[in-house]
Chain A
């Protein structure tokens, strides 16, 4: 028997009926309350049967076509990035100094004044807000780091600058730095000078370039050796589609 004072929140929680702030507080509570955790697991099983009560209606075939077009194009992109990564892996017979590096790369954290002005619209795909007379649109990126399910990334696109904002992201592996790449249709990802590491909270605000991106269909982030690379040496950990 769960005698916890928060017990009545369990039903609302599994039905996702708690407002966002209460939802987050209850999740923190779950981390410390075995009784509520057990009850959530039990009632979640009941909640999971509810979709079966909906009248079954088939989706239109065009929906499958739209989704598969995106999936196939991203699969090609990932395969291309991984093939490039294989090509770029250092040959043990070669001196490490001969590995190609982007010559003028340096860490470029976003200046504090700019960071303060970054508009956040988490979870909104293509949301548009008005900032100082110019439109800023926000595109949510996808973070592909299995160990960091809470990690989030978004692009802030405006006439002034294109910025990447990441939250709750783990630091790059030792000796590596995150590097931003711009992918244009039918081309290999082009390197940028935007290199970054996350702070203690997993956050980073990075200016990718002045002005808007032109002709770029994917913004990628990979972990690269310190100093960055000319071509990706690992698979992307962030993919965002600004178009």
Chain B
């Protein structure tokens, strides 16, 4: 069977055995989402490329650690990218980090050959952005600063001149609301 027909979880079984071509299919399926997240977080293409390279090589070398009972391959990949991007941001110790500007970027979803997948990705992106938009602004802000900015709760407290306890509470409440609004999508991703 062609690799392109296999589910991610089956491809990971082959990756675990050192199959480079199975890995290439996993890369093709998730590289755009990975790069987009890294670019949004680090604000520069070069750093985003470094982060994605580190993340996918780590995935290749530690494929045995993927546990399908703990979530989809996509979630696992994006979790690795998120951690690597945070490491890169904290290593740089630059806290007035440039944020990627969305202006002038032509949004491109993956799966060039499959319009149904592309349409589904567009719908998911719209749902998540809408759900973030309905949060109270102070909850949305702390979630964005933490998740995309890589700031710690104490850095956010300092940036917003707000007590740490309040920042932590806003993060938890905001995530609870997101979870409520995106229940189906959140479960589908896990």
Contact = CB atoms under 8 A, between A and B. Distances in A.
B3 interface: no
Q: Which of A63, A74, A239 has the most CB of B within 10 A?
A: A63
Interface of A: 7-12, 14-19, 42-60, 63-64, 66-68, 70-72, 74-75, 78-79, 123-125, 142, 144-146, 149, 239
A46 B131 CA distance: 11
B60 A17 contact: no
Given A7-B172, A14-B175, A45-B186, A72 B20 contact: yes
Nearest to A149: B65
B106 to A, nearest CB: 8
Given A46-B182, A51-B82, A57-B35, A68 B20 contact: yes
Nearest to B112: A58
B37 A49 contact: no
Contacts of B40: 54-55
Contact of A48 (B20, B146, B168, B186): B186
25 contacts: A8-B168, A11-B170, A16-B83, A16-B150, A17-B153, A19-B152, A43-B176, A44-B190, A45-B187, A46-B179, A47-B175, A49-B128, A49-B186, A52-B124, A54-B39, A54-B148, A57-B108, A58-B32, A58-B108, A59-B34, A63-B35, A67-B53, A67-B56, A71-B20, A142-B61
Contacts of A50: 128, 143, 147-148
A152 to B, nearest CB: 12
A66 B175 contact: no
Interface of B: 18-20, 23-24, 27-28, 31-37, 39-40, 45, 48-49, 52-54, 56-58, 60-62, 64-65, 71, 75, 78-79, 81-83, 86-87, 91, 100, 102, 105, 107-110, 121, 124-125, 127-129, 131-132, 143, 146-148, 150-154, 156, 165, 167-176, 178-179, 182, 185-187, 189-190
A15 B147 contact: yes
Contacts of A11: 168-175
A221 B11 CA distance: 26
Contact of A55 (B36, B58, B79, B91): B36
Contact of A64 (B31, B33, B58): B31
A52 B118 CA distance: 13
Contacts of A78: 18
A7 B168 CA distance: 9
Given A59-B31, A66-B53, 11 more contacts: A17-B146, A43-B179, A49-B124, A52-B33, A53-B129, A53-B132, A56-B33, A57-B108, A63-B49, A70-B60, A74-B18
Given A18-B153, A48-B71, A57-B107, A67 B57 contact: yes
A3 B87 CA distance: 32
A57 B171 contact: no
B87 to A, nearest CB: 7
A43 B124 CA distance: 18
A12 B49 contact: no
A49 B188 CA distance: 10
Give me the 8 closest cross-chain CB pairs, A-B, nearest first: A11-B171, A11-B172, A146-B64, A45-B186, A59-B35, A17-B146, A54-B40, A46-B179
